[in-house]
Amino acid sequence: MDILPPSCKNVLVIEDNHAILDVITLILQSESYKVTGLNKSADMMIHIEQFKPDLIILDIMLPDGDGRDLLKAIRSDASTADIPVLMISARYTAENVQHGEFKPNGFLAKPFDIDDLLDRIEGILAGKIY
pLDDT at 1: 47
pLDDT by residue for the chain (130 residues), tens digit each?
Answer: 455 556 689 999 999 999 999 999 999 999 999 999 999 999 999 999 999 999 999 999 999 999 999 999 999 999 999 999 999 999 988 877 776 788 999 999 999 999 999 999 999 999 998 8
pLDDT at 7: 61
Cα(127)–Cα(92) distance, rounded to whole angstroms?
A: 24
pLDDT at 99: 66
Burial group, residue 61, by CB count within 10 angstroms (0-12, 13-18, 19+): middle
